[in-house]
Amino acid sequence: MRASAEQVLGLDERGLVAVPGCGDAVRRLHPLVLKDFIAFRERCAQHGVNLAIASSFRGFDQQLAIWNQKMRGERPIYDDNAEIIDIRHLSDADKLPYILRWTALPGCSRHHWGSDIDVYDLSAMAEGYRLQLVPAEYAADGPFERLGRLLNSWFDEKEGYGGFYRPFSVDSGGVAFEPWHISHIVTADAHSQALSPGMVKSYLAKTDIAGRAAILENFEEIWRRFVV
């Protein structure tokens, strides 16, 4: 398969398919991913985990809205201990590393590809619990400890399992460790091969992204450190 520039940047939603069994939520994936995801979910069920999707396909505009809210201080930004950090007093350039640790630059999100999925265990969610997607939730004594252990046992030793792998499995100072983020290998590879810094930079220059000047000025460093 080949991915077009529009597909890579999250600008083409044609061809996505809805995942069955997500209740009222509409969760969409690339069609190549669906069968493997359903099989993966069944394997989780065999271990007592009701695998649910927090996020699957996310288009450019959706990522841009999240990004802009974070840059403008309208949406919380967490540190590694799940504490909210106040970045409002920082310059745009100084805000970037805090935001990029957990939030992809629009155009660079693996969620644009329909290949990547954030998962949690619906059966372990207490009534009224608000999902945060922080590592502590998947660690010992976290609500999703069982799922966390299961994913570690499948992914720690092997590169891939059931067609998926975890791209953010080690924290080397860029994007944080995201135990909940799984990626469909074949589909993600096709998109990542088509992704280039020039493509993203020239598209961002045309948008109303918050912090645009700082992003374009620091683009090469952002790319090196935070784009996978």
Instruction: Catalog residues that contact Zn ion under the rule CB under 5 A.
Output: 118, 181
CB 13, CB 112: distance < 8 Å = no
Distance between CA atoms of residues 70 and 74, nearest Å: 6
Distance between CA atoms of residues 174 and 179, nearest Å: 15
Distance between CA atoms of residues 54 and 132, nearest Å: 10
Question: Given the complex with Zn ion, which of 181 and 184 has the nearer CB atom?
Answer: 181
Question: Given the complex with Zn ion, which of 154 and 180 has the nearer CB atom?
Answer: 180
Q: Minimal distance in Å, beta carbon 166 to Zn ion? A: 10
Q: Minimal distance in Å, beta carbon 181 to Zn ion? A: 4
Q: Minimal distance in Å, beta carbon 110 to Zn ion? A: 7
Distance between CA atoms of residues 75 and 51, nearest Å: 26
Question: Given the complex with Zn ion, which of 41 and 181 has the nearer CB atom?
Answer: 181
188's CB contacts (< 8 A; 6+ apart) are 110, 113, 115, 116, 167
Picking from 204, 155, 157, 203, the residue whose alpha carbon sits closest to that of residue 180 is: 155
Question: Given the complex with Zn ion, which of 118 and 121 has the nearer CB atom?
Answer: 118
Q: Minimal distance in Å, beta carbon 114 to Zn ion? A: 12
Q: Minimal distance in Å, beta carbon 111 to Zn ion? A: 6
| 74 burial via Cβ count (<10 Å: 0-12, 13-18, 19+) | exposed
Residue nearest to Zn ion (CB): 181
Residue reference for tokens 């930004």: 77
Question: Given the complex with Zn ion, which of 66 and 214 has the nearer CB atom?
Answer: 66
